[in-house]
Amino acid sequence: MVMKVSLRRNVRILLLGDRHVGKTSLILSLVSEEFPELVPSKAEEITIPPDVTPEMVPTHIVDYSEVDQTVDELTEEIQKAHVICLVYSVVDDASIDRLSSHWLPFLRNCLVDTCLPIVLVGNKVDLVDYSTVELLHVVIYDIPYIFHFPQSSAKTLKNISEMFYYAQKAVLHPMAPIYISDKQELTPECIKALTRIFKVCDLDNDNLLSDKELNAFQRRCFDAPLSRDSLEDVKIVIRKNINDGVSANNCITLNGFLFLHNLFMQRGRSHTTWTVLRKFGYNEDLQISKEFLHPPLNIPATCTAELSDKGQQFLTTLFYRFDKDGDGALSPEEQGRLFSLCPPECPPWTDREMRAMVATNSKGWITMQGFLCYWILTTLFNVNKTLEYLAYFGYPITDRENQTSGVLVTREKQVDLLKKQTTRNVYVCHVIGNRSTGKTALCQSILRKHHDSSKVTSITSPVECDPPYTINTTTVYGQEKYLVLKEILVRDEQLPVLLPVDVDCDVACLLFDSSRGDTFKYIASLYVKYFSTSKIPVMLVAGKSDMPRARQDYLMQPDIFCETHKLSPAHSFSAANNDREVFVKLATMAAFPRFHPAWMLFYPDLTSHFYMFNLHDNKAYLWKTGLSVAVITLLGIIFAKFLRPPRK
C-alpha cells in the first residue's frame, strides 16, 4: 500500500489507546513540563505554535476518552487526524494484546481509502527495566505505515517531546513513499528521484561525486559544506558496508549515494532524505512540484522575455558539460545523457524539429550556437517551458533565488519607440509572401543551410506555436543579436489578408519572387493595407535573384513602389548564394525601430546614434529647426552690422 500525501502546513496528532495507559498524562506532561497529580478523563485540544516546534509548523494535539466520546465521534476524529499515536502501557500485557486484537483492525476499518502514519508509544517505562519494542514486531510486521516505537514516561518526562516530534516527523517526512520497511530498501520511486539528483550534482559527468561536488550538494541542501574529516568518515562507512560505494580515486558512486540514504532510513532519519528531495523540488508523491517548475514571473503584454546573462552562462556550461568529446555538438548519446535529467515522457525537442529551427553541424547534431538559440526562442514564446527545463537541468535554486534569475524581462516596446532604439537582444521578423516565393528557403538560409526552395517544406516549431520558426545570431554594429524568422502562412492568394498576430512583429520582410511577374502585387497590397501607416519597419525582398528577373504585373514596378512609399529599394536575395546581408539589415531595422530604412542605402557608415533619427517622422521638427537657424543667422548679421566699429 502506497501512502499518498501532500505537504502539510500544520499537523494534527490524535492519541488513542485503552483506558489508564496514560494518554492524557502524556499531553499534560508535555504542556506543563511536570507530571500532573490530578488527571482528567480527557484533555482539551492543545495547539503548539510553530516557533516552538522543530519543523516550524503549528501542531494540534487531540486526546481521546472512551468515557466521554462515542464511536462515531472517535471515527470523525480519526478522519481529521494527520497522524495517530497509539499508546499502550509497557506494564500491561492486555494493552499490548489489544493493539493487534482491537485498535489496528478498528483503524483499518476507519481508514479504508487513507493511510495515516501510526506511531506506537509505550508509556510508563519508569516502572520497568526492559524494552517492549521487540515484542511489537510480531504485532505490526505486516503494517508498513507504522512509523516508530518511542518508549516514554509521563511521570519522569522521558521522551515526551521526542514522542510528539516523531509524530510530527511522520507527517512531514513520511517513510512510506521512500522506504519499504519490511525489505529495508528504498522504494523504486525514491531511487529514481535520487538517481536524477546524483546526475544533476555530477558536474563533470564522470558518474562519480568528488569532494568538490559533494560539498556543492551539501551547500545546496543543508547550507554548509562538510569538513575533510567528515567526508572521510562518510566514505569509511560506505566502504564497510558495500564494495562498490567508493571508487578507486576516492569518489562516491551512485550505489554509495543510494546506500547513504538507505542508511538514513534505517536510523530513522527520513527528514535528511526528504530535505534533499525537497531542495530539488520533489513533493510527497515524489514528483517535481509545479510550484518548483513554474515560479511566478510577471511579463507585461508589451514586454518580452529573454535569457539573462546568468541564464545563458548556465546553459552554456551545461552544453559543454555534456559535450564530452569537445566537438562543439551534442551527439545522440550525449543528447540522451542530457535528456536523462528530464522526465522521459517530455524531451525538450525532437531531432527533426530541432534541425529545422537552429544551427546544426554536418551530421545534423545541435551545436552550441543552436543550443543557445533554441532556449532563447523558447524563452521568447514559452517562458514557462524555459523555467521548467532550467529546473530539470539543475539550475541553482535556493530559498533566496529561483530560475527566474535566468530570465530577463525587457522594457516596454512603447519606450523603445520613444527612444528610437531598443535594448532587447531578440527580434522577431515576419516573412510574408504568397506561395512558392521562397519564404521557407529564406528562413532556412539564416541557419547557413542551402535548400532547393522547390523542395523545402514547412516544419512546425516545438515551442507550442503553429507557424514555423528559425533563429540564429546576426551582428548589429558589432553587437551579437538574435533574429527570429517566422514564416506567415498564406490563407488566400486572391484576397491579401493578415490577422493582427501576423502583423505584430519587430520588423517585416515582404518577399516576392523576382523571376515571376505575379507575386509582387500580393505583398504590395499587404504593405498598403497593413504597414504603410504603422510604425513597424518593413523591407521588401526580391527573392530568387539568381534567376532572370520578370516584369511585375502591378501598377508600379518594385523600384517605383519603394521610392513612392519612401522604402529602401528591394533587397535582391538568393538562397543559393548564402546571402547574410539581408539578415543584418532586418536586425538593424528592428534594433532602431524609428529609423527610416531608406537611409541605409545612402548612409551605410553613420553611427548608431545618427541612425536613430527618423527623417520621415520629423519633417515638422526639421522645418522648425531650419527656420530657427535662419532667424539666428539673420540676427547675427544685424548685430554684427551695428556692433562693427565706425570707420576712421
For the chain, give every domain's residue range: 11-172, 181-287, 306-410, 419-605
60 DSSP β-pair partners: 12, 47
**Do 124 and 22 contact (CB within 8 A), yes or no?**
yes
Nine cell digits for residue 114:
487513507
Residue 139 has pLDDT above 70, yes or no: no
Residues 179-223 have pLDDT tens digits of 987 788 999 999 999 999 999 999 999 999 999 999 999 999 999
Least confident of 240-254, 261-275, 376-390, 584-598: 584-598
Task: Supply the pLDDT for residue 253.
Answer: 97
Task: Supply the pLDDT for residue 536.
Answer: 92
Domain 306-410 has CATH 1.10.238.10: yes
Residue 113 has pLDDT above 90, yes or no: no
Long-range contacts (CB closer than 8 Å, 24 or more residues apart) made by 283-289: 283/6, 283/7, 284/4, 284/5, 284/6, 284/7, 284/174, 284/177, 285/4, 285/5, 285/6, 285/177, 286/177, 286/178, 286/187, 286/189, 286/190, 286/192, 286/193, 288/391, 288/392
Q: How far is CA 570 from CA 106, 617, 643, in A?
A: 85, 21, 56
Nine cell digits for residue 403:
530560475
Task: Supply the pLDDT for residue 268.
Answer: 76
Residue 262 has pLDDT above 90, yes or no: yes
Neighbours of 537 (CB within 10 A): 26
Give residue 600's pLDDT band: very low, low, confident or very high (50, 70, 90): very low
* Length reported for the chain: 648
Give residue 4's pLDDT band: very low, low, confident or very high (50, 70, 90): very low
Least confident of 118-132, 300-314, 500-514: 118-132
What percentage of the chain reaches a pLDDT higher than 90? 59
Average pLDDT rounded to a whole number, residues 403-430: 90
What whole-number distance in Å separates Cα of residue 350 and Cα of residue 317? 22
Neighbours of 458 (CB within 10 A): 12
Angle made by CA atoms 417, 420, 426, in degrees to the nearest 5 = 75
What whole-number distance in Å separates Cα of residue 203 and Cα of residue 211? 12
CA nearest neighbour of 221 among 261, 167, 179? 261
What whole-number distance in Å separates Cα of residue 307 and Cα of residue 303? 14
Task: Supply the pLDDT for residue 55.
Answer: 75
What percentage of the chain reaches a pLDDT higher than 70? 84
Task: Supply the pLDDT for residue 355.
Answer: 87
Q: What architecture is the 181-287 domain classified under in CATH?
A: Orthogonal Bundle (1.10)
Mean pLDDT (the chain, rounded): 85
Q: Do domains 11-172 and 419-605 have the same CATH topology?
A: yes
Task: Supply the pLDDT for residue 634.
Answer: 64
Task: Supply the pLDDT for residue 306.
Answer: 96
CA nearest neighbour of 383 among 311, 305, 313? 305
Cα–chain center distance at 419? 33
Q: Which positions ≥6 away from 571 have C-beta within 8 Å?
A: 539, 540, 541, 542, 581, 582, 585
CA nearest neighbour of 402 among 299, 315, 311? 311
What whole-number distance in Å separates Cα of residue 232 and Cα of residue 250? 9
Residue 135 has pLDDT above 70, yes or no: no
What whole-number distance in Å separates Cα of residue 578 and Cα of residue 451? 10
Reduced to 3 states (helix: H, G, I; strand: E, B; else coil), residue 306 is strand
Cα–chain center distance at 502? 29
Q: Which CATH class is domain 419-605?
A: alpha beta
Task: Supply the pLDDT for residue 472.
Answer: 96
Give residue 422's pLDDT band: very low, low, confident or very high (50, 70, 90): confident
**Which amino acid does the sequence have at 114?**
T
Q: Which residues of 476-499 are buried (b: 16+ CB within 10 A; e: fewer)?
A: beeeebbbbbbbbebeeeeebebe
Nine cell digits for residue 222:
543543508
**Do 538 and 531 contact (CB within 8 A), yes or no?**
yes
**Do 601 and 589 contact (CB within 8 A), yes or no?**
no
Residues 99-112 have pLDDT tens digits of 888 998 898 888 77
Task: Supply the pLDDT for residue 338.
Answer: 95
Q: Would you put residue 22 in left (φ > 0), alpha (ψ -120 to 50) or beta?
A: left
Q: Which CATH class is domain 11-172?
A: alpha beta
Residue 465 has pLDDT above 60, yes or no: no
Higher pLDDT, 603 or 88: 88
Average pLDDT rounded to a whole number, residues 432-441: 91
What whole-number distance in Å separates Cα of residue 539 and Cα of residue 638? 49
Give residue 413's pLDDT band: very low, low, confident or very high (50, 70, 90): confident
Give residue 297's pLDDT band: very low, low, confident or very high (50, 70, 90): very high
What whole-number distance in Å separates Cα of residue 31 and Cα of residue 642? 102
Residue 415 has pLDDT above 90, yes or no: no
Q: How far is CA 249 from CA 127, 135, 235, 589, in A?
A: 54, 46, 12, 57
What is the pTM (predicted TM-score) of this model? 0.79
Residue 8 has pLDDT above 80, yes or no: no
Pick from 65-74, 151-160, 163-172, 403-412 the range whose average pLDDT is largest.
Answer: 403-412
Average pLDDT rounded to a whole number, residues 326-331: 95
If you write DSSP's letter for every residue of 381-417 in order, what string do you get? Answer: H-HHHHHHHHHHTT----SS--GGGGEEEPPPHHHHH
Reduced to 3 states (helix: H, G, I; strand: E, B; else coil), residue 339 is helix
Residues 505-548 have pLDDT tens digits of 999 999 999 999 999 999 999 999 999 998 899 999 999 999 99
If you write DSSP's letter for every residue of 86-132 in order, what string do you get? Answer: EEEETT-HHHHHHIIIIIHHHHHHHTSS----EEEEEE-GGG-SS--
CA nearest neighbour of 588 among 572, 607, 562, 565? 607
Backbone angles phi, psi at 89, to 5 degrees: -100, 130
Nine cell digits for residue 24:
492524557
The radius of gyration of the chain's CA atoms, rounded to the nearest angstrom, is 36
Nine cell digits for residue 645:
566699429
Residue 283 has pLDDT above 70, yes or no: yes
Angle made by CA atoms 480, 486, 490, in degrees to the nearest 5 = 155
